[in-house]
Amino acid sequence: MYAGRLLFRSGAPVKIRYSVAGLLLSGALSAAISVSTLAAGPDAETRLRSAIHDGDASVLKVQGGSIRVVFADGTLALPRTAVLDWVRSDAQAVAVYFGGFPVRELGLLLVPVAGGKISQGVTFGEGMPVIRVGIGQDSDAGTLARDWIMVHEMVHLAFPLVPRKHHWMEEGIATYVEPIARAQAGLLPPAKIWGDLMRDLHQGLPEEGDQGLDNTHTWGRTYWGGALFCLLADVKLREQTRNRFGLQDALRAINRDSGGMANEWPLLRALQAGDAATGTHVLAELYAEMADKPMTADLPALWRKLGVAQVDGKVVFDDTASLADVRKAITSQH
């Protein structure tokens, strides 16, 4: 996870969510679609779906899923084969975490943009989900290796669409799961994940005037508050089941039962599906604690129990800590 993510959500119906790291698209989606145009929702979705449907596609097969990849007009320093390998690798990381790719079919439009960064991630659900990601024309292999946006957007595919007030759950899951999925796939070291959580998770704690996650729609509470819910749930699940089950098991069950972002569910139904899979009531009970009132967490104490510390600017692990086995299990491949 990285500090300074600039992510937004439209005022459009709940089936539309998007995150923007740049302002312009190109090629098949037109030369200049602004953020305000994206916020209109249906027009942007229609253009994206048309570009994917009509474009010259490469089809990738990933663990039960099929990804139709289309390149918008524009040049890239990287060969397309390298870009497709990156998409496949990130999709495989998501499939490893969820026990299979979260949806049967996905359309993906890759849009060359100025610069050397990955940006402009946007995902639309319902029916066949579609994703658009901007790829800097000067991007190199290191750019692709460092990127978090592709996995973040693909993680969104695994959870059903829920009413707008629960948007923190959608973004919290994507924020929390993205680096863990990459670690389980061997793309990130565990020290990176825990160091970033120690640095950033405090942004999800409630501040004065907070009215719970369902009613406090700030950036920090939406992304990091949602991620805080996920970490607390993961730890509680593993404590209660003696590390037999964790949040990963609950999310796999929710994805399997709901079909993911292609469908819309009430949030409580999704949480109950996750709890049924783990034989607990952790998700529903934690939601009841955090939804309508500010519930804080003693993060320094949690890091100590997990055996995570910063020493001279480096992350160090204490394997004698009471929850060290929980920390190891979270980032281990299952």
The answer on 239 and 128 residing in a single domain is no
Confidence check: pLDDT of 290 > 80: yes
| CA-based torsion, 324, 325, 326, 331: positive or negative | positive
Long-range contact set of residues 305-308: C-beta below 8 Å, sequence gap at least 24: 306/194, 306/235, 308/194, 308/198
- List the domain range (segments joined by +) for residue 301: 164-331
Domain's final residue, options 107, 130, 156:
156
Tell me if 37 sits within 8 A of 49, measured CB to CB. Answer: no
Which residue, 185, 179, 169, 170, is CA-closest to 200?
179
The answer on 235 and 185 residing in a single domain is yes
What is the C-alpha separation between 264 and 258, in angstroms, rounded?
8
Of 13-17, 107-111, 302-306, the one with minimum mean pLDDT is 13-17
The answer to whether residue 314 sits within a structural domain is: yes
User: What are 277-286's pLDDT values in tens digits?
Assistant: 999 999 999 9
Tell me if 49 sits within 8 A of 29, measured CB to CB. Answer: no
The answer on 117 and 30 residing in a single domain is yes
Confidence band for 1, pLDDT divided at 50, 70 and 90: very low
The answer to whether residue 6 sits within a structural domain is: no
Contacts of 110 (CB under 8 A, 6+ apart): 69, 70, 71, 72, 83, 87, 133, 134, 135
Based on the structure, what is the number of domains in the chain? Answer: 2
Confidence check: pLDDT of 57 > 90: yes
The answer to whether residue 10 sits within a structural domain is: no
> What b/e readout covers 272-286, taking b as 16+ CB neighbours within 10 angstroms?
bbbbebbebebbeeb
The answer on 117 and 28 residing in a single domain is yes
The answer on 210 and 130 residing in a single domain is no
The answer on 37 and 118 residing in a single domain is yes
What is the C-alpha separation between 259 and 106, in angstroms, rounded?
13
What is the C-alpha separation between 120 and 49, in angstroms, rounded?
16
User: What are 102-154's pLDDT values in tens digits?
Assistant: 999 999 999 999 999 999 899 998 789 999 999 999 999 999 999 999 999 99
Confidence check: pLDDT of 23 > 90: no
DSSP 6-30: -----SS-TTEEE--SSS---GGG-
Tell me if 73 sits within 8 A of 33, measured CB to CB. Answer: no
Segment 229-239 shows an average pLDDT of 98
pLDDT of residue 98: 98
What is the C-alpha separation between 94 and 180, in angstroms, rounded?
10
Which residue, 60, 234, 220, is CA-closest to 150?
60
Other CB atoms within 10 A of residue 56 CB: 7
